Structure 1
Amino acid sequence: MAGRGGTARPSICPTLLYADATAAIRQLTEALGFTELSVYETQDGEVLHAELVQGNGVVMIGSKGRGGLFETVLRDAGPAGVYVAVDDVDAHHRRAVEHGVEILMPPTEQDHGSRDYLARDTGGNVWSFGTYAPEIGG
């Protein structure tokens, strides 16, 4: 989907809440290769909303404990699982290990042709990084 200036805009953005959103952003950027698109904070440094980019996808991050309907309906939802396509799974995995990320499965060849690994972040969410990227035809 094209946006202003011909730039692509993702149509699906996972949204995750963390008890320590600042630590989550640090882990996702430093250890798992995301890039900060935007971070909005309160005057005391609490993360109100952040957007992190990986390839052509975006994940939205917020802080738990702020209240509101979104947090209320997510209260019993549990952690999320998010898949992210990366070019070099082994290099990505090495970076995660170097930063102390909890690895649930090392890089493994899958029956469907992808090479994936699984990791858990500071909020308990499970991230799957792999070489498979779905193609959306037109």
Structure 2
Amino acid sequence: MADTATGAPTLFPTLLYRDAKAAIRQLTEGFGFTRDALYESEDGTVLHAELSYGNGTVMLGSKGHGGVYGEAMRDAGPAGVYVVVQDPDAHHKRAEQAGVEILTPPTDQEYGSRDYTARDAEGNLWTFGTYTPGATLS
């Protein structure tokens, strides 16, 4: 749901990767995200990055660079993220052509959505579909 005052989203998935640079490449090239911000340490470690798709943003960084958040997420397992897209078939084709592991092809769901699920290089699941939480499906 968007912030009613600004129209900005109020929920931002945050993921940590062993190879954050590779994750950024896969999310931009394979899934069509736009890189909006990238902050690196002097040695090139990704401290924080923001990638957007539509009006949503995912934040990510490198595992193992310390801090309370990093330490708490050190052994975290894969996460699942859902992204609304207008054309799941075209989106799926782009991901497949980029070599992304596809778990389920575009499929019509009983509740009216069409979606597919893929796994990124570090095991996180990404589902892309037409279902918009909070909206009425026709």
Same fold (TM over 0.5): yes
> Where do 4+ consecutive residues of structure 1 move more than 3 Å?
none
Alignment deviations for residues 68-92 of structure 1 (CA, whole Å, 9 cap, x no partner): 2112222333100000000110000
Aligned length: 134
Contact 2:63 2:74 in 1 (8 A): no
Equivalence for 2:9 = 10
Shift of 1:14: 0.4
Structure 1, unmatched stretches of 5+, are: none
Counterpart of 2:111 in 1: which secondary structure? coil
Counterpart of 1:27 in 2: which secondary structure? helix
Shift of 1:46: 1.3
Equivalence for 2:34 = 35
Equivalence for 1:133 = 132
Structure-1-length-normalised TM-score = 0.91
1:19 aligns with 2:18: yes
Amino acid at match of 2:46: V
Counterpart of 2:26 in 1: which secondary structure? helix
Counterpart of 1:97 in 2: which secondary structure? helix
Equivalence for 2:118 = 119
Shift of 1:49: 0.1
Contact 2:96 2:102 in 1 (8 A): yes
Residues of 1 paired with 2:62 and 2:133: CA distance? 30
Contact 2:28 2:34 in 1 (8 A): yes
1:104 aligns with 2:103: yes
Equivalence for 1:46 = 45
Shift of 1:108: 0.5
Q: Matches of residues 71-110 of structure 1 in structure 2 within 5 Å?
A: 71-110=70-109
Identity of aligned residues (%): 62
Alignment deviations for residues 52-79 of structure 1 (CA, whole Å, 9 cap, x no partner): 0011111001001101211222233310
Residues of 2 paired with 1:50 and 1:34: CA distance? 12
RMSD, aligned α-carbons: 1.6
Contact 2:117 2:126 in 1 (8 A): yes
Counterpart of 1:119 in 2: which secondary structure? strand
Shift of 1:94: 0.2
